[in-house]
A and B are shown apart, each in its own frame.
Chain A
Amino acid sequence: MQKIQRSSKAARGTVTCDNTTMHLLKANDFVAESIRKRMAEQNILLLNITSSAGSGKTTLLQETIKRIGDQANIKILVGDLETERDADRLRAVGGDALQIVTGGICHLEAQMVWQAMEGLNLDGVDLLIIENVGNLVCPASFDLGEDYRVTLIATTEGDDKPKKYPRMFLTSELMLVSKVDLLEYLPFSVDNVVADARDINPDIDVLELSTIKGTGVDAWCDWLLQKVAEKKEAAAVVAS
């Protein structure tokens, strides 16, 4: 099948393209679909966790491992521009983490995740979590084949983030408002952030979180375990 509407003669004049074949991110989206298929075959829940740098992703994942590491088989892939630091932090609490060093690229692409998955033993894994590179812009455009996208926004970042980075909030299922232990010191309104995020994405779930004080961490872990269970139920229905 001809991908572009053109005659068999040499191209001349104006050639109008087919929108799907000429999409510049189609290579990424193709690999993301392959990841999604593979995760479905293996009944693994895949999460893509995004935020600006320093919003508390790694700290939350450390706490998650400590709390439910014995209830679910969890593996973590961590994207970082240059260092292995976050994977080391996760291993220090007993997590099974693999670092993807992007070498300066400001987001993870599906191809990088696919390659990293080659280095992971996924047998018996319930939950694969990807900690994306700290950036609310570029990671928003790259589907990694995830079931859910979770975005953190810390009280220290100001409450204008959803309107500055609408694509990320549009494509996330859950927003975690992190570092709420600092709310009393900061000009940050949780209500405003939630209202702005829901102007963009009326269906987005919200959880307030302080990993350091423990606020909301149980609710987060319950959410995770419930999504893991739902994925397995869905797989059982398909299999039966």
Chain B
Amino acid sequence: MHEISLIRTVFNTLEAEFDAEELSRLQAVDLKVGLLSNVEPTLLQNAFAAVTQSEGKYETATLNIETVPVEVYCPVCDKNSPVKNYKFACSCGRPSSDVVSGTELLIHRIHFAEPAAVRST
């Protein structure tokens, strides 16, 4: 799979949004990973460890992965139902491949420590 390149994308995204001072206080990144994203959380954790070590950055930061179950939308019932046993259907029985969650692969939250000046007061 492409876990290493996903972790590089996480860091590139952070570096585009935050400056070096902010990122020096990076504590944790929370990812949302849908069960349909074809990404294996363990492999992502391994890739995170490998990239932080080999690049010598963010070594004290942690990666938190929240897996998101698969849900489909039914227009008749106007509600979402979880997909069980690979049956993409509403609880009313109507088939639906309108997947409303489960394909996520995104940075959800980022945690920073307090800046030094604030911390000292």
Q: A residues bordering B, Cβ < 8 Å? A: 3-4, 10-17, 19, 22-25, 27, 105-107, 137-138, 140-141, 162-163, 166-167, 170, 196, 198-203
Query: How many B residues touch A, CB cutoff 8 Å?
Result: 37
Q: Which residues of B contact A137 (CB under 8 A)?
A: 1, 38
Q: Is A17 in contact with B97, judged by CB distance below 8 angstroms?
A: no
Q: Which residues of B contact A13 (CB under 8 A)?
A: 111-112, 114
Q: Is B86 in contact with A106, judged by CB distance below 8 angstroms?
A: no
B13, closest chain A residue (CB): A22
How distant is the Cα of A19 from the Cα of B106 in the complex, in angstroms? 7
A204, closest chain B residue (CB): B97
The answer, among A15, A27, A170, for a CB contact under 8 Å with B109, is: A15
Q: Which residues of B contact A106 (CB under 8 A)?
A: 1-2
How distant is the Cα of A23 from the Cα of B99 in the complex, in angstroms? 17
Q: B residues bordering A, Cβ < 8 Å? A: 1-2, 6, 9-10, 13, 17-19, 21-22, 25, 36-38, 86-89, 95-97, 99, 103-115, 118
Q: Is A198 in contact with B95, judged by CB distance below 8 angstroms?
A: yes
Q: A101 to chain B: closest CB distance in Å?
A: 17
How distant is the Cα of A106 from the Cα of B6 in the complex, in angstroms? 13
How distant is the Cα of A162 from the Cα of B97 in the complex, in angstroms? 14
A203, closest chain B residue (CB): B97
Q: Is A167 in contact with B36, judged by CB distance below 8 angstroms?
A: yes
Number of residue pairs A-B, CB distance < 8 angstroms: 98
Could you list 12 examples of A-B contacts with CB < 8 Å? Answer: A10-B19, A10-B115, A12-B25, A12-B113, A14-B110, A14-B112, A15-B111, A137-B1, A167-B103, A199-B88, A200-B97, A201-B88
Q: Which residues of B contact A3 (CB under 8 A)?
A: 17
How distant is the Cα of A100 from the Cα of B13 in the complex, in angstroms? 27
The answer, among B88, B95, B106, for a CB contact under 8 Å with A22, is: B106
Q: Is the interface of B mostly helix, strand, loop or mixed?
A: mixed
Q: Is A141 in contact with B37, judged by CB distance below 8 angstroms?
A: yes
Q: Is B110 in contact with A17, judged by CB distance below 8 angstroms?
A: yes
How distant is the Cα of A17 from the Cα of B105 in the complex, in angstroms? 13
Q: Which residues of B contact A22 (CB under 8 A)?
A: 13, 106-108
Q: Is A200 in contact with B38, judged by CB distance below 8 angstroms?
A: no
Of A4, A16, A141, which is in contact with the most chain B CB atoms at under 10 Å from its CB? A141
B39, closest chain A residue (CB): A141
Q: Is A23 in contact with B105, judged by CB distance below 8 angstroms?
A: yes
Of A11, A14, A105, which is in contact with the most chain B CB atoms at under 10 Å from its CB? A11
How distant is the Cα of A76 from the Cα of B12 in the complex, in angstroms? 33
How distant is the Cα of A101 from the Cα of B112 in the complex, in angstroms? 41
Q: Which residues of B contact A105 (CB under 8 A)?
A: 2
Q: Is B108 in contact with A16, judged by CB distance below 8 angstroms?
A: yes
B103, closest chain A residue (CB): A167
Q: Which residues of A contact B9 (CB under 8 A)?
A: 24, 27
Q: Which residues of A contact B38 (CB under 8 A)?
A: 137-138, 140-141, 167
How distant is the Cα of A107 from the Cα of B6 in the complex, in angstroms? 14
How distant is the Cα of A10 from the Cα of B111 in the complex, in angstroms? 12
The answer, among A15, A24, A162, for a CB contact under 8 Å with B10, is: A24
Q: Which residues of A contact B109 (CB under 8 A)?
A: 14-17
Q: Which residues of B contact A4 (CB under 8 A)?
A: 17
Q: A113 to chain B: closest CB distance in Å?
A: 16
Q: Is A166 in contact with B112, judged by CB distance below 8 angstroms?
A: no
Q: If A3-B17, A22-B107, A24-B107 touch, does A196 touch B6 (CB 8 Å cutoff)?
A: no
